[in-house]
Amino acid sequence: MSQATCCKGSAHGTALDEAKLAALDAVIAKYRGSPGALISALHEAQEVVGYLPQEVQVRVAEGLGVPLSEVYGVVSFYALFSMKPKGRFKISLCKGTACYVRGAPHVLERLEKELGITAGDTTDDGMFSLDVVRCLGACGLGPVITINEDVHARLKPDRVPGVLEAYRRADRG
């Protein structure tokens, strides 16, 4: 796929509006000719688009003159990058040692049941995405989840439905 067809709403993916496309091209131009700048370019591209679908990866690879396999290797290796769109409410569940022994697996199970998705996915309505992280740095408050910038500490599985409902209500306005 060439840049001419990338990101224009192909059968495979995401249509980017002209403003996002221009911003993506500016990111690529900023890093063109800079060896070792792939991670920085991908990070900024993800800031623009919200995630890194195949079409964006192709555009970055062609724009920076690096193999698509190298771009995909970086995107698939680092947890920072996502190839799927994230929800309006991004849930991160800590599975570090302290949270794990205090019940994080049970909280994760309840989140997955209530949302109808597994870790790494986004709900069909685009409201919630769920990710597991190694540590959120709140070990004394485990188990802990964050939803966007909000921290929910000492979370028990039976509190999960109420927490999610609060975000659903907030989203409805």
Q: pLDDT tens digit string along 34-81? A: 989 999 999 999 999 989 999 999 999 999 999 999 999 999 998 789
Query: In Å, how far are 69, 89, 122, 130, 138 from 126, measured between CA atoms?
Result: 29, 9, 6, 11, 28
Non-local (6+) Cβ contacts of 49 within 8 A are 14, 16, 20, 24, 56
The helix (run of H) or strand (run of E) holding residue 16 is: none
**Using CA atoms, how far apart are residues 96 and 105, in angstroms rounded to an integer?**
11
State pLDDT tens for residues 13-41.
456 889 999 999 999 999 999 989 999 99
- What is the model's pLDDT at position 9? 40
Q: Give helix 38-49 / helix 18-31 axis angle, nearest 10°.
A: 170
State pLDDT tens for residues 106-150.
999 999 999 999 999 999 999 999 999 999 999 999 999 999 999
